[in-house]
Structure 1
């Protein structure tokens, strides 16, 4: 496994309906060695901190396999950073990707998976397709947010090592599916809230379920 690209952005204006808003979704690859701290990639920009970023969603990961699938669906090549991810990786580990799985990159950086990415209107506008959010949901290829357990520097080409959790935490694709249903399955809800979710995801899930935030 390998780190294929490190991507970051400066704030850029984008048009949503009749409004112009800032976004940090226009990520571009960098060849530099980059420090990834508790709040994410040095030099990156996160604008809407209500639903993005923070210590529990510091880094967003997307895989080359999912890029290949989307390139086939859209009939065009997609450069790293297209999906707004900070790190483009060769693959997620074999088997089910779960909240609580850990990923070591290079010598020191250690990440822990916390939630799937949930698409928004800015994402659709960036892709130039108002229906892209629905297509992204149907595809079930959300990528994953992670918290930084150990700060480190990374360089394109660094080796990756997955450390799957031994706990029965909710899996990322299952959580992404439940997120877009009218109501959560009770067993999945219990499994999700028992997992080391990001604070943002836990708050939203708890609110939708009508229960006190357990985080």
Structure 2
């Protein structure tokens, strides 16, 4: 299990984003050398946890529980085959392109040590948005991506450090529940009746998703 590339994006003006700045950092490219990761601060204030990476819409992206986004090279290869086009590392807006790790089977609260110092914790799955769909320019993309339920995880930074291409990924903690990235995504996007089960992940679950699950439980308590 290793990092194939660490990817960062620069602000780019586009006509298809509703970000107030009119820019997006979704077009991420592999960085040369080590890249520092650290907790960027609360959502709405903090941006990316990856040094040199742009988050252009703080309303929906960035912050502690979306500090780093990972996507598996194996899943990019799947989409290459299905879409019939080359997909480079970073093209899905991921900060870390991984190899040899089923990132969607990772548990919420699972911790990865990457390289010699950084420790990241799985917080939730990525939710596809209009910018993602427009960037890829694929008809019906949000629905197609959602149906596969392999979104890749957002991670928070537990211990800051430097990450570079080739760094090994070691799973150093797996919590005692069964709430995976895939399950959390399915509950939010496809099968709302699964939402109550997400609460088993406790405080490790992204606060917004945790609140969604609690609201669902309260509504259906009767």
- Shorter chain as denominator, the TM-score bin is 0.7 to 0.9
Matched length: 210
The structure with the largest helix share of the pair is 2
C-alpha separation between the residues in 1 aligned to 2:5 and 2:106? 20
C-alpha separation between the residues in 2 aligned to 1:186 and 1:95? 17
Contact 2:104 2:180 in 1 (8 A): no
Tell me the CA shift for residue 127 of structure 1. Answer: 0.3
C-alpha separation between the residues in 1 aligned to 2:82 and 2:154? 24
Per-residue CA deviations over 1:131-164 (Å, capped at 9, x if unaligned) read 1111100111100000000000111111111234
Tell me the CA shift for residue 57 of structure 1. Answer: 1.2
Partner of 1:171: 180
Partner of 2:35: 34
Partner of 1:49: 58
Change (3 A) 1:121 1:170: same
Change (3 A) 1:108 1:96: same
* TM-score for both structures, normalised by structure 2: 0.85
Contact 1:99 1:195 in 2 (8 A): no
Tell me the CA shift for residue 68 of structure 1. Answer: 1.1
* TM-score for both structures, normalised by structure 1: 0.88
Partner of 1:6: 6
C-alpha separation between the residues in 2 aligned to 1:117 and 1:17? 17
Contact 1:144 1:172 in 2 (8 A): yes
Change (3 A) 1:79 1:210: same
Aligned Cα RMSD in Å?
2.5
Contact 1:6 1:29 in 2 (8 A): yes
Q: Which runs of 5+ in 2 are unaligned?
A: 41-48
Partner of 1:22: 23
Per-residue CA deviations over 1:70-102 (Å, capped at 9, x if unaligned) read 111111221011110000010325993110111
C-alpha separation between the residues in 1 aligned to 2:195 and 2:50? 36
Contact 2:196 2:217 in 1 (8 A): no
- Tell me, yes or no, if structure 1 residue 96 matches structure 2 residue 97: no
C-alpha separation between the residues in 2 aligned to 1:95 and 1:141? 6
Change (3 A) 1:25 1:94: closer
Q: Which piece of structure 1 moves more, 152-161 or 16-25?
A: 16-25
Partner of 1:134: 143
Partner of 1:110: 119
Partner of 2:69: 60
Q: Secondary structure at the match of 1:41?
A: coil
Contact 1:50 1:200 in 2 (8 A): no
